[in-house]
Structure 1
Amino acid sequence: MRELTIDDVKAAVKGGSVFACGGGGWVDHGLEIGGAAVAIGRPKLASVDEIPDDAIIITATAIGAPAGNEWEMLGADYIKAVKLLMDNYDGKIYGIMTPQNGMSSTINGWLPAAALDLVVVDATGDIRAHPTGKMGSMGVASRLDYQTIQVVVGGKRSTGSYLELVVKGTPAKTSNILRTASDMSGGFIAAARHPLPGSYIKKHAAIGGVSIAIELGKKILEVEAREASGSEIIDIICSHTGGKVLGVGKVQEYDVHYSGAFDIGTVTIDVPGNPLKLHIMNEHMAVEDSHGKRLATFPDVITTISAETGLPVSVGHLKPGMEIAVFHIDKQHIPLSSSVKDRTVYPEVEQALGIELIPYAFDNE
């Protein structure tokens, strides 16, 4: 195991922003929570090989829509969510993992790990950010034989929206309850869930997901230190990840709306000669060209990057006229967890988006 430092926080947020795919929280929030983690304790990052098979690992996350502005999530909320799960679980919790990478979600569990003497596990429920908790649940989303515990804590105190909720039951039912709680709390809320043994994590998670984000972040920070241009930073991201740019153009149309703790809609990038349409449900879930040809689909990494600065731009910060590079990593180049191989997690997202995902997500089977 190795001790996580403030340099790891900065790198995790920087690299995680690429895997955020337009969602995955906020840079400022990630730096704030990560900074608090290494200030109050010494969180340790453990590889899955360092975790006993019978050690119980939980997932720490945040649930909601990144473009929302009525939420309030404090560092204490992340800690309390984990503490409430520990209080309601008949056993000892050993470590914490995140369900996804993101602008802040890569470091989701670092603060409660530091505060409660737990390890941070170098694995993710999905290498990239995704809209539903089921998509980061490592294959337990549809299981009827697995009874989980899920906890949410947070909400704006000044409006009376603060909530604490502990639910037990199947992942499918409890996940829907948590999404409703997130909406009621103001649009984003801290969560802890799914106690699972290390043996299960080793088999079903995206192994090394946190280190992958940190290493990419370090490469980007090195280039930024040389005052590189936006195009040079994008080139480094492509070469380090095996990804590519699908097109560069200005944001032409922005049609994204908030609905039930989700940001849903489309964004059109006016790439010269072949505009690209991005389908969004919190994150970028699919890309089509002007002829309706599908160019990328979840679980591919799909990220909007400022052509000027080389920095990823979240869904909520995309504005008409902004020059954007649409970045893509094919799923064959990233570790895939059981979460994204579970066909049952796709239909509700397909219905919300009004497009098919399954035929493209499973096109190599």
Structure 2
Amino acid sequence: MRELTRKDVEAACKGGSVFASGGGGFYEHGLAMGQAALTLDKVKLVTVDELPDDAIILTCTAIGAPAGTTDWQMLGKDYIKAVQLVMEKYEGKIVGVMTPQNGKSSSTNGWLPSAALGLVVVDATGDIRAHPTGKMGAMGVANDLNYHTIQAVAGGKPEKGNYMELVVSGTSAKTSKILRIASDLSGGFIAAARHPLTAKYIKENAAIGGLSKAIDLGYAIIDAEPEGAEAVIHAIVKQTKGEIVGRGKVSKKDMHYTDEAFDIGTIEVDAPNNRLTLHVMNEFMAIDDAQQNRRSTYPDVIAAFSTETGRPLSTNEIKEGMELAVFKIDKSLIPLSSSVKDPTVYPEVEEALGIKLYDDAFKEKINH
């Protein structure tokens, strides 16, 4: 057990910014929620091994489009309310919370409900990096017709008539679609709690240690920041064993928002003797070069760093004319949850982007 600190909040958000892969929420929001948690009570981070196999863990998240194209509002009380709504509906005792992904704010998703409701934060993630659909962080329950889930959301601006609370139960696939619509109606981003699962199940299906990996990376970034942008980029590459795919100027950005709370499109980077195309569905999902060679595919971690500051940029922060360093961590270097290896979670993302993902990411598995 580890008691989290204010420095851990900063580290989680900075390390989470890399695993955010262009999405994963908003840095200032993550800091605010994490620090607010520590003003309420102690926040305890535990490994899944420290919990009994039958302990129930709930996933805390935010649903929506992180590119900053909508007028959303999520307050700390909304994260707490979403968890309370599930606890009221669920018949068993919930002892811990976890995040379905790392990100600028999503790494601290569960900290506030943890402090407010006397729960522990579990050092596991549904996916170590950020992803566009709930299925990708659902640890195998996304298309399980035998798993009856409970999901709840809370958030939106009351003064605009957008605030809502919603609890749904049923299969993960159907209820997740309802919450996507709720997110759009509330303003494009909403706090959520979902999927009560046992510690035994989490141990077998999550990306174990996913949160502490983000915190450790964040400390490496903090240590390098006084030396400037290149030192930060070098520290990230060294800590993660990732690689810079290319550097260059953003020549084109083509993004649009959908009524299912997705930001979809492409960002093109003119690297020396090549052009890199980053495919975006809330997060970076693939990189192609000018010869149509696939350079990286989800579930690789894909990020874009400002060469001026060294910071990982969200898609909303990227503008035409900016100089970027495009980065990847190969999936072989990160813990993979069962959901990112599930071929059934890919079709809707592939259809939205018009490219193949699963076949490219797991072609060795398919060939054998």
**Aligned with 2:85: secondary structure?**
helix
Aligned residue in 1 for 2:121: 120
Q: Cα RMSD between the aligned structures?
A: 0.6
Aligned residue in 2 for 1:89: 90
Aligned residue in 2 for 1:247: 246
**Aligned with 1:309: secondary structure?**
coil
**Aligned with 1:364: secondary structure?**
helix
- How many residue pairs were aligned? 363
Amino acid corresponding to residue 134 of structure 1 in structure 2: K
Amino acid corresponding to residue 268 of structure 2 in structure 1: T
Amino acid corresponding to residue 183 of structure 2 in structure 1: S
Give the TM-score normalised by the residue count of structure 1.
0.99
Stretches of structure 2 that go unaligned for 5 or more consecutive residues are none
Q: Distance in 2 between matches of 1:88 and 1:228?
A: 51
Amino acid corresponding to residue 176 of structure 1 in structure 2: K
- Give the drift of 1:363: 2.1
For residues 29-54 of structure 1, give each alpha carbon's deviation from its aligned partner in whole angstroms, at most 9, with x where no partner exists.
Answer: 00000010111110100011101100
- Give the drift of 1:298: 0.2
Aligned residue in 1 for 2:235: 236
Q: Distance in 1 between matches of 2:323 and 2:222?
A: 22
**Aligned with 1:291: secondary structure?**
coil
Aligned residue in 2 for 1:296: 296
- Give the drift of 1:360: 1.4
Aligned residue in 2 for 1:175: 176
Q: Distance in 1 between matches of 2:159 and 2:318?
A: 29
- Give the drift of 1:314: 0.3
Q: Distance in 2 between matches of 1:100 and 1:315?
A: 17
Matched, 1:164 2:172: no
Aligned residue in 2 for 1:317: 317
Aligned residue in 2 for 1:282: 282
Amino acid corresponding to residue 253 of structure 2 in structure 1: Y
Amino acid corresponding to residue 118 of structure 1 in structure 2: L
Identity %: 63
- Give the drift of 1:69: 2.9
Q: Distance in 1 between matches of 2:347 and 2:23?
A: 20
Q: Distance in 2 between matches of 1:364 and 1:104?
A: 34
Q: Distance in 2 between matches of 1:359 and 1:117?
A: 43
- Give the drift of 1:229: 2.2
Aligned residue in 2 for 1:218: 219
Describe how 1:324-339 pairs up with structure 2 within 5 A. Answer: 324-339=324-339
- Give the drift of 1:364: 2.9
Amino acid corresponding to residue 296 of structure 1 in structure 2: S
Describe how 1:1-365 pairs up with structure 2 within 5 A. Answer: 1-67=1-67, 68-224=69-225, 227-260=226-259, 261-365=261-365
Give the TM-score normalised by the residue count of structure 2.
0.98
For residues 247-292 of structure 1, give each alpha carbon's deviation from its aligned partner in whole angstroms, at most 9, with x where no partner exists.
Answer: 0011110001111200000000111210100000000000000011
**Aligned with 1:12: secondary structure?**
helix
**Aligned with 1:189: secondary structure?**
strand
Q: Distance in 2 between matches of 1:347 and 1:113?
A: 34
- Give the drift of 1:124: 0.0
Amino acid corresponding to residue 217 of structure 1 in structure 2: G
**Aligned with 2:144: secondary structure?**
coil
Q: Distance in 2 between matches of 1:21 and 1:27?
A: 13
Q: Distance in 2 between matches of 1:333 and 1:360?
A: 17
Amino acid corresponding to residue 112 of structure 2 in structure 1: L
Q: Distance in 2 between matches of 1:363 and 1:217?
A: 32
Q: Distance in 2 between matches of 1:66 and 1:337?
A: 23
For residues 124-159 of structure 1, give each alpha carbon's deviation from its aligned partner in whole angstroms, at most 9, with x where no partner exists.
Answer: 000000000010000000000000000000011121
- Which stretches of structure 1, 4 residues or more, deviate above 6 A after TM superposition? none
Amino acid corresponding to residue 201 of structure 1 in structure 2: I
Q: Distance in 2 between matches of 1:232 and 1:290?
A: 29
